[in-house]
Structure 1
Amino acid sequence: MRLRSKRQQTDHRPEAPATTPGLAVELRGVRRQYGRGAGSVHALAGVDLALPRGTFTAVMGPSGSGKSTFLQCAAGLDRPSAGSVRLGGTEITGMSENKLTELRRSRVGFVFQAFNLLPSLTVEQNVLLPMRLAGRRQDRGRAQAVLAQVGLGDKARRRPGELSGGQQQRVAVARALVTSPDVVFADEPTGALDTGTAAEVLGLLRDAVDTLGATVVMVTHDPAAAAWADRVRFLADGAFAGDLERGSAERIAARMTVLTARTARVEAMAGATA
């Protein structure tokens, strides 16, 4: 099951502002603080990151390391307390909520653990939803093309409840790709799937990068899922603490074990001195 090359597709995106060549995601000095005073929490403590277009990046870290906050700030779902975020070269930090919503709908794709499909809509209608919400013409030919790419060309008229969990996640991948976005953010996309089905979905994301030139940023706790990425970035205490290029699941798991133990020691020391 191979995806078509980007040159074979019609670019349905609206004209975008001038972009930074080569970069799909760029964070500079990004901080995110919740609350004030002694009870404040620094979920992100000065994150710097530059991800080239056409790459697959996995982000991992111990519980409470800031993974979810990172994804939300990078995708424009949450606003950082300080710093700069660029998507496709476009500065989004100071955007109005309306402009930010428009950008997310047209230039960002999302794949979530819970699928987030609307049960009352058909598979095709779910895939077309980003175009509908953006006020654009709903291109049924484009929807059929991406459904064929994920192996569901014959399921367009079905409802999500008639599909298996793996098939529903394939629909979510098709929905994420339908607008040919600058970047696809995947939040634990295989967390609700069995091992075999998870590998099929990860293969689709990998193929989107390799044959369409898509950019994928995936937050995951699973070393086997992270091993599909070009590079794994490790978060600890709200900051990046190293990376691993083309690592095996075993190497990634070993790095996570070391990082989790280190984080536990730091927390224990902080508790002892509190």
Structure 2
Amino acid sequence: MRLRKGGNRHDAGERPQARDGSALAVELRGVRRQYGRGAGAVHALAGIDLALPRGTFTAVMGPSGSGKSTFLQCAAGLDRPSAGSVRLGGTEITGMRENRLTELRRSRLGFVFQAFNLLPSLTVEQNVLLPMRLAARRADRRRAADVLGQVGLADKARCRPGELSGGQQQRVAIARALITSPDVIFADEPTGALDTGTAAEVLGLLRRAVDALGATVVMVTHDPAAAAWADRVLFLADGVFAGGLEGGSPEQITARMAALTSRPGALAEAAA
């Protein structure tokens, strides 16, 4: 069952601030990403401007090849844009040295992927604590127990990933993303490998992370039902954002996608 929006959600004036005092969790200005040169160049991102407040849940949708994965990689510091500026939690990461960028990703960002990316040789607790270990921070087992409790896996700490269902493994991935209280959680098709019921449970956890914990979630998805859990849905095509939808239902999101992709030039017109 979908969690009701509102209630515990932070109002715009009550959102926790970033570490430099900024109320923005993610900010992209003029971001472009080009692969190759000359006539064969691919413009995966053709000039992205975006500002996402803290304590919000944003879904990014678009057809195959629209630039969704490139957007997420550039926004999360996993790939460097060809031009433009990216700020995370008020910190400018464009041009940041790789060792500092790696440290920032480990300590201030959380990631949830379709494939779970858990280490099979480690226990659930050890997988959850891995970001703290990689960031050279003390492995706080109380904190691990707390986040495992938040995702309903308090009794699975000593299990191995292979002993869990797919939905439980994704819950572990969410706990791992929460362990460092990150500025932003980036989710890349987090329900793509799950059945409908399990997907709803996982999306409910991401929704609760925003509403109850003040987290910021940026999710790339192809699924209108998943996108409907977000506060805002942004539509991406040909490397540019082509409109958005506030709090839409799966049916409304599907209709908007159909309208935006129904004929050549429609996306460009919507973005204008």
TM-score, normalisation: structure 2: 0.90
Which residue in 2 is equivalent to 1:137?
138
Which residue in 1 is equivalent to 2:71?
70
Which residue in 1 is equivalent to 2:53?
52
Which residue in 1 is equivalent to 2:42?
41
Which residue in 1 is equivalent to 2:191?
190
Question: Are positions 1:235 and 2:236 aligned together?
Answer: yes
Q: Secondary structure at the match of 1:229?
A: coil
| Cα pair 2:88 2:183 within 8 Å, conserved | yes
Change (3 A) 1:18 1:122: closer
Q: Secondary structure at the match of 2:155?
A: coil
Which residue in 2 is equivalent to 1:23?
24
**What CA deviation, in whole Å up to 9, does each residue of 1:95-140 have, x standing for no partner?**
0000000000000000000000000000000000000111110000
Change (3 A) 1:189 1:155: same
**What CA deviation, in whole Å up to 9, does each residue of 1:10-53 have, x standing for no partner?**
xxxxxx99625210000000000000000000000000000000
Aligned length: 252
TM-score, normalisation: structure 1: 0.90
Shift in Å at residue 236 of structure 1? 1.0
Give distance in 2, aligned partners of 1:177 and 1:250: 31
Q: 1:105 is aligned with what amino acid? A: R
Give distance in 1, aligned partners of 2:20 and 2:35: 31
Which residue in 2 is equivalent to 1:272?
none
Which residue in 1 is equivalent to 2:246?
245
Give distance in 2, aligned partners of 1:100 and 1:48: 21
Give distance in 1, aligned partners of 2:29 and 2:21: 14
Change (3 A) 1:117 1:20: same
Q: Secondary structure at the match of 1:212?
A: coil
Give distance in 1, aligned partners of 2:76 and 2:150: 25
Matches within 5 A, 1:257-272: 257-262=258-263, 265-266=264-265
Which residue in 1 is equivalent to 2:161?
160
Which residue in 1 is equivalent to 2:201?
200
Give distance in 2, aligned partners of 1:19 and 1:240: 28
Give distance in 2, aligned partners of 1:115 and 1:68: 16
Give distance in 2, aligned partners of 1:87 and 1:103: 9
Question: Are positions 1:148 and 2:149 aligned together?
Answer: yes
Change (3 A) 1:169 1:18: closer
Q: 1:179 is aligned with what amino acid? A: T
Deviating more after overlay: 17-26 vs 240-249: 17-26
Give distance in 1, aligned partners of 2:247 and 2:61: 14
| Cα pair 2:45 2:240 within 8 Å, conserved | yes
Matches within 5 A, 1:203-222: 203-222=204-223
Structure 2: which 5+ residue stretches go unaligned? 9-16, 267-272
CA RMSD of aligned residues (A): 1.6
Give distance in 2, aligned partners of 1:200 and 1:215: 18
Moved over 3 A (4+): none
Give distance in 1, aligned partners of 2:118 and 2:19: 33
Q: 1:250 is aligned with what amino acid? A: E
Matches within 5 A, 1:115-126: 115-126=116-127
Q: Secondary structure at the match of 1:191?
A: coil
| Cα pair 2:18 2:25 within 8 Å, conserved | no
Shift in Å at residue 55 of structure 1? 0.1
Shift in Å at residue 186 of structure 1? 0.1
Give distance in 2, aligned partners of 1:48 and 1:251: 24
Give distance in 1, aligned partners of 2:88 and 2:61: 21
Give distance in 2, aligned partners of 1:257 and 1:198: 23
Shift in Å at residue 259 of structure 1? 2.0
Q: Percent identity?
A: 84
| Cα pair 2:18 2:183 within 8 Å, conserved | no
Give distance in 2, aligned partners of 1:199 and 1:149: 16
| Cα pair 1:236 1:259 within 8 Å, conserved | no
Structure 1: which 5+ residue stretches go unaligned? 6-15, 268-274
Shift in Å at residue 260 of structure 1? 2.4
Which residue in 1 is equivalent to 2:86?
85
Give distance in 2, aligned partners of 1:148 and 1:211: 14
